[in-house]
Amino acid sequence: KMKMTKEKYAPKLHFKPPFGWLNDPNGLMYANDQWHLFYQYYPMSNVWGPMHWGHAVSDDLVEWDHCPIALAPDDTGYMFSGSGVIDKDNCSGLFDGPSPNNLVVFYTNSKPIEDGKDRQSQSLAYSHDGGLSWTKYEGNPIITNPGLTCYRDPKVIWLEDKQHWVLLITHGQSIGI
């Protein structure tokens, strides 16, 4: 458990990884009677590198247990920002049935391409066990890039009254739905 630190220059009430580079928080969820925090993470250095999704859990949002990395780079690219949902009613069809342990995260894959730019697309991963382990969807990417330079940071919500998902995504200075 990460306890409040007495290090002179360390944050007192801010989350920090055990080592490495940390950036955007992603997909904060409450499942299995714990808060799950995901975050942009490069565990090999204290400077930016191939992005992973770090994962930590907390009972009180102050003391954190570090979990294994939730998402690591693969052939679709680095794991950039996204969001998460609890699919308690199995609306996605990814699970065996309804459960409060059905978690889904949506994230941007960012793959460097020959012209020095990134090709960004959207993918998902899911957890059958309340966030303890993650499976990347075999049909990733679920949304391919329509040719935009900036196409990232999916925010997904379930509209209960309409019974459908809504995904917002940045297109640089605008938002797509």
Q: Which residues are catalytic?
A: 24
Tokens coding 17: 């990884």
Instruction: Give CA–CA dist 125/73, Å, rounded.
Output: 13
Answer whether 142's CB lies under 8 Å from 70's CB. Answer: no
Answer whether 156's CB lies under 8 Å from 143's CB. Answer: no
Question: 39 Cβ partners below 8 Å, 6+ apart?
Answer: 15, 17, 22, 23, 24, 25, 26, 53, 54, 55, 56
